[in-house]
A and B are shown apart, each in its own frame.
Chain A
Amino acid sequence: MSFASLSDFIAMGGHGVYVWSAYGITLGVLGLNIAMPILAKRRYLQDEARRLRRESNS
């Protein structure tokens, strides 16, 4: 382990702001990229389900 304590780890030798903002933005963007196709698929399937119900009723 490269750090003596948790506060040392968070401080990152005085560069904490830079390291954690870089990691935060990266994980945020990657999370967005994972969520977008999942939400798009759900939306498409909801539309298709509605269309199938309409067609079976008429």
Chain B
Amino acid sequence: MPWSTVELMSNLMNWTWFHKLGSPKWFYEISGRWLPWLIAAAALLMVSGLVWGLVFAPPERYQGDSYRIIYIHVPAAFLAQACYLTMALAGAVGLIWKMKIADVALQQAAPVGAWLCFIALVTGAIWGKPTWGTYWVWDARLTSMLILLFLYFGVIALGQAISNRDSAAKACAVLSLVGAVNIPIIQKSVEWWSTLHQPATFKITGKASMSAEMWLPLLLSVLGFYCLFIVLVLMRMRLEVLKRESRSAWAKAEVGKLVGARP
């Protein structure tokens, strides 16, 4: 192999940028700079999406006004699944590159994802009553979402039960990766099995099955929930990083600054 190729490869495999990403101090600084913007975006998108959906969007032809639950149900269900995929990805990064920040992300995202899954299940049940005449049926979509909630509980319990940090990180990463099999099952459940649940509102290919004045507020709401999810996970991660790094000079300085600012 020519020398320049070897040099290029070693530069790529050096991956300093990637390890900088994994540095707790760097993460703390950059996330602190992003947070105000993310909070503003989350508030703006959620308020506009929900007010538009609740007040201005037209009623649905068959369901009347009860369909307005869609503006919280779909974003919560979408984020509950996106969160689990993010955790699986973080788990893979943590297992392969031993990146500590990946484990922080995984374990701090889990409770947020569990609460979003809870919202999706509860709002779905409430919506089911006027639409299907029942709060709950044991069909594929609902059952696979319930399994997702239990997977979240599993990750949270594993993280808390194992006192050795490296073993806990490894166990949570493996469970996140294995449990990710459930996500395509949730996605395809309405196609594979006969179900009461309606198929996806948005598809990446093809037209949306709603009019624009109905799906535009839904899109805003989904984006708003997405920003709020990132805000919540970053807030939790920043505190966890501060705790884990409490022996390092930068974390001591930061805590000193935060403590000094509040008498």
Binding site for B on A (CB under 8 A): 1-3, 9, 12-15, 18-19, 21-23, 25-26, 29-30, 32-34, 37-38, 40-41, 44-45, 48-49, 52
Asked if B20 is at the interface (CB within 8 A of a chain A CB), the reply is no
Interface centre among B56, B126, B256, B258 (most CB of A within 10 A): B126
Chain B residue numbers with a CB within 8 Å of A1 are 55-56
- Pick the contact of B119 from A9, A25, A44, A52 — CB < 8 Å? A25
Residue-wise, chain B 64-103 has the 8 Å CB interface mask toward A (1 for contact) of 1110110011001000000000000000000000000000
Complex: how many Å from CA A29 to CA B72? Answer: 12
Q: How many A-B residue pairs have CB under 8 A?
A: 86
Chain B residue numbers with a CB within 8 Å of A25 are 119, 122-123, 126
Residue of B nearest to A12 (CB): B65
Chain A residue numbers with a CB within 8 Å of B55 are 1-3, 9
Residue of B nearest to A52 (CB): B259
Asked if B239 and A18 sit within 8 Å, CB to CB, the answer is: no
Asked if B59 and A13 sit within 8 Å, CB to CB, the answer is: yes
Within the complex, what minimum Cβ distance (angstroms) separates B124 from chain A? 9
Asked if A26 and B76 sit within 8 Å, CB to CB, the answer is: yes
Q: Chain A contact residues: over half helix, strand or loop, or mixed?
A: helix
Binding site for A on B (CB under 8 A): 50, 54-59, 64-66, 68-69, 72-73, 76, 112, 115, 118-119, 122-123, 126-127, 129-130, 228, 232, 235-236, 239, 242-243, 246, 255-256, 258-259, 262
Q: Chain B contact residues: over half helix, strand or loop, or mixed?
A: helix
Within the complex, what minimum Cβ distance (angstroms) separates A44 from chain B? 6
Residue of A nearest to B69 (CB): A22
Residue of B nearest to A15 (CB): B66
Within the complex, what minimum Cβ distance (angstroms) separates B43 from chain A? 11
Chain B residue numbers with a CB within 8 Å of A29 are 115, 118-119
- Pick the contact of B56 from A2, A38, A45 — CB < 8 Å? A2
